[in-house]
Amino acid sequence: MTSASLKDIFNTIGNSRQQMVDLLSELVAIPAIAPEYGGDGESEKVAHLEKRLREMGFTRMERLDAPDDRVSSGNRPNLILWLDGRSSTERLIVIVHSDVVPAGNLTLWKTDPFKTVESDGRLFGRGVEDNGQSLISSIFAAKTLLENGIKPAMDTAIIVVADEEMDNAQGILHIMDQGLLKKSDMIVVPDHGIPDGRLIDTWEKAIAWIKVTTIGKPCHTSQPNKGINAFRAAMRYGYLVDDALHKKFNLVDKIFDHPKSSFEPTKKVDNVQNINTIPGEDIFFIDCRLLPQYKIDDLMSEMRSVADSVEIETNTKIHLEYLLREDAAAPMSSNAPIIQKLKAAIESVYHNDPYTGGIGGSTCAGVLRRAGYHAVAWETVEGNPHIPNEFIQIDNMMNDCKVFATLFLNQLNDIDDDI
């Protein structure tokens, strides 16, 4: 057993800054986008990552890929990197994801989204925050243990999952189906946080993505009496349902980063190609995030009630369909071992006062908690995923790497923690 101190460990991490930036840049340059968004999945990106991990000296890796004939490789890769511990009685699991959302409107980017740019201590590019920073910080924490000849007390794994940005079917849900995880595992999902690194997510809102399809009757715009404008009816429904939902689901809970339920119309499908045709069909989507005090069934009941009234008013048919439904899980106890260990690691690096709370976002931690696993979400981020000019503070990546190293090393009684 090497008598390395955390100061030695932190020095190793500090000397790895350029390596960390370089690997993150390499991964950003390989788009890993779900087929639902027009991409070809994560295979190329994960293959490159696996190659680089072997070059770093990692030898114990496995794959639990999910079949998917919509992508050219035929599968969605889930990569598991293991660190053998001195005991296998307990396990620590870190879960990150390899996929990213599309770049969106390129005219809003100041740089190429798939070529990282470093400026003023920041790194810009699609996926650098979601979820590249945590992928790199957790891997380099493990790499630092290897370089210093240290084994953690318990078996530790970093799992790089696919399909997190869509519905998790080929990612964390596939991992769970394969029986890799144990209910006794202590799980950290570094996929949500705040700039000071204090928030540990232990509770997530319920989520429903609703597809709204309005059916009318197409006709030429010069003879509107011969048709039924589905777009007008959809606008009417959108206005009324937005008002109804905000009035009915109006509780405020300050434990959450956004303390209210939210109902956001987002994606809109093209209806007609020319201006002078009244559309007979219109489709749009609403992203709903409900405080856990409410039930998704009640949300859909309210949306259906408004749809019924608009159908009568406009002589249309309105269909409501779930694209995603994730009911809220109960919050974890603040006394859970993983929370206490993580708090201690955060305090030792950031010298702050971490606290537990809830978020409106959806992470693998929420999926796991619904299934009865002990999982929290945490990282230190500026909070700009899914938008143009996504960026990270490189110092956050470096410090989070130290937190993960401390989390691993705090399992050892014979490590000198005098920083």
Single out the residue in 301, 326, 351 at which a domain terminates: 326
Whether pTM > 0.85 for this model: the answer is yes
Do 352 and 250 share a domain, yes or no? no
Measured distance CA(411)–CA(186) in Å, rounded: 12
In a domain, 315, yes or no: yes
- Residues facing 384 on adjacent strands: none
Per the CB < 8 A criterion, the answer to whether 357 and 258 are in contact is no
Do 218 and 233 share a domain, yes or no? yes
pLDDT per position in the chain (419 positions), as tens? 345 678 889 999 999 999 999 999 999 999 999 999 999 999 999 999 999 999 999 999 999 999 999 999 999 999 999 999 888 889 999 999 999 999 999 999 999 999 999 999 999 999 999 999 999 999 999 999 999 999 887 899 999 999 999 999 999 999 999 999 999 999 999 999 999 999 999 999 999 999 999 999 999 999 999 999 999 999 999 999 999 999 999 999 999 989 999 999 999 999 999 999 999 999 999 999 999 999 999 999 999 999 999 999 999 999 999 999 999 998 899 899 999 999 999 999 999 999 999 999 889 999 999 999 999 999 999 999 999 999 999 999 999 999 999 999 875 443 444 33
Nearest of 213, 214, 187, 215 to residue 202 by alpha carbon: 187
Phi-psi region of 120 (alpha: psi -120 to 50; beta: other; left: phi over 0): left
Domain harbouring 340, CATH code? 3.40.630.10
Residue written as tokens 């210093």?
148
Measured distance CA(259)–CA(397) in Å, rounded: 28
In a domain, 238, yes or no: yes
Please give the full DSSP string across 66-102, using - where no structure is assigned: EE-TTSTTSEE--EEEEE--SEEEEEEEEEEE-----
Do 125 and 213 share a domain, yes or no? no
In a domain, 160, yes or no: yes
Measured distance CA(83)–CA(214) in Å, rounded: 53
Per the CB < 8 A criterion, the answer to whether 121 and 395 are in contact is yes
φ, ψ dihedrals at 197, nearest 5°? 70, 15
Measured distance CA(129)–CA(64) in Å, rounded: 25
Domain enclosing residue 300, as ranges: 206-326
Contacts (Cβ under 8 Å, ≥6 apart) of 270: none
* Beta strand segments in 98-198, E: 117-119, 122-124, 154-161, 186-189
Phi-psi region of 132 (alpha: psi -120 to 50; beta: other; left: phi over 0): alpha
Contacts (Cβ under 8 Å, ≥6 apart) of 98: 27, 32, 42, 45, 46, 49, 77, 79, 131, 135, 160, 161, 162
Do 113 and 257 share a domain, yes or no? no
Single out the residue in 270, 291, 326 at which a domain terminates: 326
Do 22 and 139 share a domain, yes or no? yes
